[in-house]
Structure 1
Amino acid sequence: MFAVLLGTPDVSAQSKSGRSYYVYVCAESDDEVALVRFGPSGTEILKRISVGSFPAENEGPHGINISPDGRYWYVSLAHGMPFGSVHKYETGTDQWVADVTLGMFPATLDIAASTGLMYIVNFNLHGLMEPSTVSVVETQSMTEIAQVETGVMPHGARLSHDGRWLYTVSMMNDKLVELNALTFEVSRQLDLGNPVGNGRVGMESVEVAGLVQPTWVSRPTPQGKVYVAGNASNEIFEVDLDTWMITRQFEETGAGPYNLDVTPDGRILVVTYKKDAAVGFWDLETGDELGRITTLRTVPHGVAITTDGRYAFVTIEGVGGEPGGLEIYDIETRERVGDVEVGKQAGGVAFWKMEP
């Protein structure tokens, strides 16, 4: 059971913890990244950083993440001509450092603290329905050192805490994929849906399902689980990493669960419902949805939870020419406690730091 809170007003514009929290937010249609602070004085944009190399073209900043030591941020420019790229910036100064060209439509990314290697899914949004790859990048030199074939339209890359395993989903053939992050080999795949047919791609036959259309997978929890958003099937899968089996399916979700994140203790799941303009909060012990809040704008996209587990930062794409948004939610009370307008089609969001 859950309480549906429609149009919940902002109950506070300030951080109740007394801390300030900093996040970077992508605006895909504006080729812009915003640095936002949420703290005792409210929510404010500290800086807007233009990204990309071709001012006359929309290059589409899509995925963003912070290096484990907090010194750099990395953003994928997905559109490309034809290949996309990832760019490295210094946090604080937000000065460009380097870039690397990757595959078709590089999207989400994560960086291993143990090795410094970065893993980026090449989503191949506009290409044929054929298996695509995960790029592996050495971040000091910004050199691509490997591409690993995974599935059709890979998305939602997240590493285990020890940096040994990368988890991603293949959106158009309904698979959860585990990649050995040290040997660059696919170790396990899990079917999430039943195939509806085979799609011919050149001389090869590729099994294409698309019943589930998974879009994101969570980082592994302390309890040894990952959670997968089934965007087309309107459900969330719980997968046990020891048995590599689906242990629960949360079916009473909002329409189009898209992105999700779990609190550091593995107790609460926060998920964006892209087609329902809402954010859901799930108790992972009981399997109950604790609350669902309607967002101020339509098309919620990304979610990032702070390292202290207190707040969830949610990006809102908006539609047409309207601005995107960033909304902040208190996870314990499930109330919206801040929001700010950002650039158009806000998507990728990455938590940087908190002070003090």
Structure 2
Amino acid sequence: MKLHDNKGFWLCLSEKMKGKGLAWVGAWMLIIFLLSFQLSRTTQADGGAPNLAYVAGSAGGISVIDVFQKNVSKNFAITGDPHAVLLSPDGRYLYVTRPQAGQIAMLAASTGNTICMLDLPGRPEFLALDVITATLYTAGNMDKRITALETTNCQLKRTFQAPAPVNGLALAFAQTNLADGQETQLWATTSRGIAIFNTHTGKTSKVVTLPADQAQTIAIPPGKTAYVTTKGGAISAIDLHTYQTMHLLSGGNYGPMDFDEATGEIYVPDSRHQQLTVLAPVAVGYSRIHEPQRTLHFDAVPNSVAITNDGQLGFVALNNGQVVMLDIPGKQQVTSIHVGGSPHFIITGLYPPLAPIHPQEATFSGILATIISYGLLAVMLIVPTGYFLYRRFARPQKLPHGE
């Protein structure tokens, strides 16, 4: 018997697929869904509502709040007084400063296991993340040094020298804050002014001073204005291009700020009045409305605030161990979640990817999902191939006439 040529094989394959197209399409869609499950979890929150909130300083060290369930889903036991926390864009890594231990650590956000850590001088306390160059900046108020690290392995990239110990860090980016083509700037608040560094060259390009006051925390939302709190209990705005300053508010004791990317509003914890102060966005040098725009009062001192990317939810960490969830458009409290301790920093983010890169990230659900996905993929590849090969080559041979 003479075998059919390739054209005959593909004609046969086409005939066998007739009437089964929808079934195979459905099966492959299932495989694609399973293999991309971790991506679907990521895009669920990117640019929208968060999945999780991470609270540093809770009774458990770092508490993880499930936003949908409105409760604490797990705790990461972290020693060394975990202070500032930041999350990688994909939700995989959690960066944590530990001032008492003099360390910065990178944790697996899925498990809380330490992937890497680095001992640094000056009690590192503050963080800033450049996702474009994959650089993490950290500094503390006991040393003039600012350290730049690789975001994937804690390796040292370079150091910067501020004019005095650092009280806060923030980044200004081209197009988002600066003119197109400008290098990213690192802004560091100190007792001797706000040092502005070119992150590419490492050189100080400018030091901005505030009249008769010392800069403390800093926030740089999209736009051309930076917002700075001061030791004297004031809030000032600084033009990112001209460095002109404008006094906005005074009379409080202000903590680390966050902003609503949708409206440009600035949210500032005020421990003196046990309230969250909300400022309207300003352009330095132009007329502005009376500040604050509004205030939200609490039963305890607010230490930190986090506003989601879509501007729908806010989270406020109080010193009595509670985290208050806010409905931002509705300007009201949704619920209060107990985490214990005295939480002093909070961020929101998305679910960590299921597929681990490091062993420290592995969870049972992630391993199980990976096994099932690749197992089904193997079945979908092997079974139809074997079936068509069998039908193609295992036909009974026809005997010649007369035999």
Deviation at 1:346, TM superposition (A): 0.8
- 1:119-178 CA-to-partner distances (Å, cap 9, x unmatched) read 001221xxxxxx6121111222212232212133312212234581222211x33x2222
Partner Cα distance (2:90, 2:185) in 1:
19
AA aligned opposite 2:98 = L
Tell me the residue number matched to 1:23.
Answer: 53
Partner Cα distance (1:102, 1:160) in 2:
25
Tell me the residue number matched to 1:288.
Answer: 291
Deviation at 1:334, TM superposition (A): 2.5
> Equivalent residues in 2 for 1:49-64 (5 A)?
49-52=76-79, 59-64=80-85
**Residues 234, 89 of structure 1: alpha-carbon distance in 2 compared, 3 angstrom cutoff:** same
Q: Is the 8 A contact 2:126 2:168 kept in 1?
A: yes
**Higher normalized strand content (fraction of residues):** 1
Partner Cα distance (2:92, 2:291) in 1:
38
Tell me the residue number matched to 2:239.
Answer: 240
Partner Cα distance (1:45, 1:255) in 2:
31
Tell me the residue number matched to 1:347.
Answer: 344
Q: How many residue pairs end up in the alignment?
A: 291
AA aligned opposite 1:73 = L
Tell me the residue number matched to 1:271.
Answer: 268
**Residues 289, 325 of structure 1: alpha-carbon distance in 2 compared, 3 angstrom cutoff:** same
Partner Cα distance (2:141, 2:255) in 1:
15
Q: Is the 8 A contact 1:63 1:348 kept in 2?
A: yes
**Residues 336, 216 of structure 1: alpha-carbon distance in 2 compared, 3 angstrom cutoff:** same
> Equivalent residues in 2 for 1:242-257 (5 A)?
242-246=241-245, 248-251=246-249, 253=250, 255-257=252-254
Counterpart of 1:183 (choices 184, 194, 201) is 201
Counterpart of 2:94 (choices 73, 88, 98) is 73
Secondary structure at the counterpart of residue 61 of structure 1: coil
- 1:7-34 CA-to-partner distances (Å, cap 9, x unmatched) read xxxxxxxxxxx95541111017x57001
Partner Cα distance (1:227, 1:274) in 2:
18
Tell me the residue number matched to 1:215.
Answer: 216
Tell me the residue number matched to 2:400.
Answer: none
AA aligned opposite 2:310 = D
Secondary structure at the counterpart of residue 217 of structure 1: strand
Q: Is the 8 A contact 1:20 1:38 kept in 2?
A: yes
Partner Cα distance (2:202, 2:67) in 1:
38
Q: Is the 8 A contact 1:161 1:220 kept in 2?
A: no
**Residues 293, 154 of structure 1: alpha-carbon distance in 2 compared, 3 angstrom cutoff:** same
Counterpart of 2:311 (choices 309, 312, 335) is 309
AA aligned opposite 2:88 = S
**Residues 267, 72 of structure 1: alpha-carbon distance in 2 compared, 3 angstrom cutoff:** same
AA aligned opposite 1:169 = T
Q: Is the 8 A contact 2:125 2:141 kept in 1?
A: yes
Counterpart of 2:74 (choices 29, 47, 53) is 47
Q: TM-score, structure 1 length as denominator?
A: 0.75
Segments ≥4 residues shifted beyond 6 Å: none
> Equivalent residues in 2 for 1:74-223 (5 A)?
74-80=95-101, 84-124=102-142, 132-161=144-173, 164-170=184-190, 172-173=191-192, 175-194=193-212, 212-222=213-223
Q: Is the 8 A contact 2:90 2:350 kept in 1?
A: no
Partner Cα distance (2:67, 2:334) in 1:
10
Which ranges in structure 2 are unaligned for 5 or more consecutive residues?
1-47, 175-182, 283-288, 353-403
Deviation at 1:343, TM superposition (A): 3.3
Q: Is the 8 A contact 2:49 2:309 kept in 1?
A: no
Q: Is the 8 A contact 1:25 1:348 kept in 2?
A: yes
Deviation at 1:349, TM superposition (A): 1.5
AA aligned opposite 2:116 = A
Tell me the residue number matched to 1:333.
Answer: 330
AA aligned opposite 1:225 = T
Partner Cα distance (2:205, 2:263) in 1:
24
**Higher normalized helix content (fraction of residues):** 2
Partner Cα distance (2:263, 2:172) in 1:
13
**Residues 235, 354 of structure 1: alpha-carbon distance in 2 compared, 3 angstrom cutoff:** farther
Secondary structure at the counterpart of residue 346 of structure 1: coil
Q: TM-score, structure 2 length as denominator?
A: 0.67
Tell me the residue number matched to 2:39.
Answer: none
Q: Is the 8 A contact 1:102 1:144 kept in 2?
A: no
Partner Cα distance (2:103, 2:164) in 1:
19
Partner Cα distance (2:314, 2:167) in 1:
21
Secondary structure at the counterpart of residue 289 of structure 1: coil
Give me the identity figure in percent. Answer: 19
Q: Does 1:261 align with 2:258?
A: yes
Deviation at 1:333, TM superposition (A): 3.0
Partner Cα distance (1:266, 1:133) in 2:
35
AA aligned opposite 1:242 = H
Deviation at 1:101, TM superposition (A): 1.0
AA aligned opposite 1:114 = I
Partner Cα distance (1:351, 1:73) in 2:
11
